[in-house]
Amino acid sequence: MYIRIMSAKKYVANALTMGNLLSGVLVILGVFIWPFGAPLQGHLQFDVEPYYEFGALSHAWLGRGMLGLAGIWLVGQLFDLLDGIAARWAGTDGVMGRQLDSIADAVSSGVTPAVVGVMMLHAWAPAIPEPLKFLPLTIAVAAAYRLARFNVEAAKGLHASGFSGMPAPAGALWWIGTLLVGAQYEIQGSWGSSGLGSTNIILVAIFIGSSLIPWWMVSRRPMLDLKRWGKDPDFDRRRAVFLGGVITAGLVSAFFGRALGLGILVGLLLYALCGAYIKKTTDSRP
C-alpha cells in the first residue's frame, strides 16, 4: 500500500496542472455551448442592432451562465496554485512539470481570457467599432510572452523573490472578476441611470483587462509574491499589512457595489499599483 501511495504521489502535480488547462478549455467551450452538450446556436437580439449571443454569455441565462464559467475558471486557478505545492510535496518539481505548468497557464490565463473578452464585447457592446471588439486578444499575446520570459529567466536563476511583471494567473483573475460582475448584476439587477451602472463597469473592466493588464504582464514592474515567508520578518510584516488592506478594500467594494467580482477587480488594482511600491522600497533597503 505504501509503495502504491508513493507511486501515485508523482502524478498529483501534473494532474492538477492538467486540471488547470482543462478548466480554460471548458470556459472557452462554455462561451459558445451552454450547458455543455447543448446545440450550438445563438440568440438573436434586436435591442440595439441585430447581433448574436452564444452560450453562457447570453442574457437568456440571466447571469447564471457567466457564474458557471467563473466557477469553473476559479477551480482551474486553484489547481494552478496547488500544483507547485503538490510537486514539492511529492519531490517531483522538475523541468517537465514547469513546462507543463507554463503551457497550461498560456491556455487558462492567455487564450481563455482573450476569447471571453472578445465574446463579451460582442455581447455587451455591439455598437462599438468592430476592431475594438478584438482588443482582448492582447491578453493572449502578453501571457505567452510573460510565461516564456519567466521560463528563460528562471532557468538562469534570476528570480530569487517577487515577480517581474504581473503573473499571468493574476491576469486571469481579472477576467474572472469581470465575468462575476456581469453575472451578479444580471442576477440581482443593475443600478444607475437606465441600468447602465453595471454595463459601464463591465466595459471599463474589459478595456483595462485588454490594455493595462497586458502591459503590466510584459513590463518589468516589480510585483509582490506570497512565497518565502519567514526569511525576512520586516518584509513579511509589511506584506501581511498590505494584503490585509487589499482584502479589506476588496470586501468593502464588493459590499457597496453588490458584486463579489468588483471586489476582486479593486483588490487586483491595489495589488498591482501599491504592491510594486512595497517591493521596490524593500529591495532598496541597505
Q: Cell numbers at residue 134, please? A: 478584438
Give residue 144's pLDDT.
95
Q: What is the pLDDT of residue 282?
A: 59
| Cβ neighbours of 251 (radius 10 Å) | 14
**Coil, helix or strand for 54?**
strand
User: Is 43 in a helix, a strand, or coil?
Assistant: strand
- Per-residue confidence (pLDDT) for residue 23, from 0 to 100: 96
Q: Give the three cell numbers for residue 149.
A: 520570459
Which range among 19-23, 65-69, 149-153, 178-182 shows the weakest confidence by mean pLDDT? Answer: 149-153
From 4-8, 31-35, 87-91, 155-159, the region with the lowest mean pLDDT: 4-8
202-248 pLDDT tens trace: 889 999 999 999 999 999 888 877 766 666 677 778 778 888 888 89
Q: What is the CATH number of domain 2-224?
A: 1.20.120
pLDDT exceeds 50 at position 84: yes
Checking if the pLDDT of 147 tops 80, the result is: yes
- Parse the chain into domains and list their residue ranges: 2-224
**Range among 58-67, 123-132, 149-158, 205-214 rated most confident:** 205-214
Mean pLDDT of the chain: 81
Please give the pLDDT value at position 8.
Answer: 57
Number of other CB atoms surrounding residue 100 within 10 Å: 17
Task: Tell me the angle at which helices 2-32 and 64-90 cross, rounded to the nearest 10 degrees.
Answer: 150
DSSP calls for 258-284: T-HHHHHHHHHHHHHHHHHHHHHHHHT
CB burial class (10 A; 0-12, 13-18, 19+) of residue 244?
Answer: exposed
Look at residue 29 in the predicted model and tell me its pLDDT. Answer: 93
Structure confidence by residue, pLDDT tens digits, 91-122: 777 778 788 999 999 999 999 999 999 999 98
Looking at residue 196, what is its pLDDT? 47
C-alpha to C-alpha distances, 36 to 4, 40, 85, 259, nearest whole angstrom? 35, 10, 31, 26
Q: How many Å apart are CA 232 and CA 154, to the nearest integer? A: 22
Of 198 and 220, more confident = 220
Segment 29-73, tens digit of pLDDT: 999 888 877 766 655 554 544 445 678 888 778 888 999 999 999
Closest CA to 279 of 214, 235, 213, 231: 235
Distance CA 161, CA 3 (A): 36
- Using CB atoms within 10 A of its CB, is residue 88 exposed (0-12), middle (13-18) or buried (19+)? exposed
Q: Is the peptide bond before 131 cis (omega within 30 degrees of 0)?
A: no
Confidence at 159, pLDDT banded by 50, 70, 90: low
Q: What cell was used for 77?
A: 486557478
pLDDT band at 260 (very low <50, low <70, confident <90, very high): confident
Summarised one tens digit per residue, pLDDT across range 274-285 is 776 666 665 555
DSSP 95-145: HHHHHHHHHHHHIIIIIHHHHHHHHHHHHH-TTS-GGGGGTTHHHHHHHHH
2 burial level (CB within 10 Å; 0-12, 13-18, 19+): exposed
pLDDT at 268 over 80: yes
pLDDT at 12: 84
Q: What is the pLDDT, as a whole number, of residue 193?
A: 43
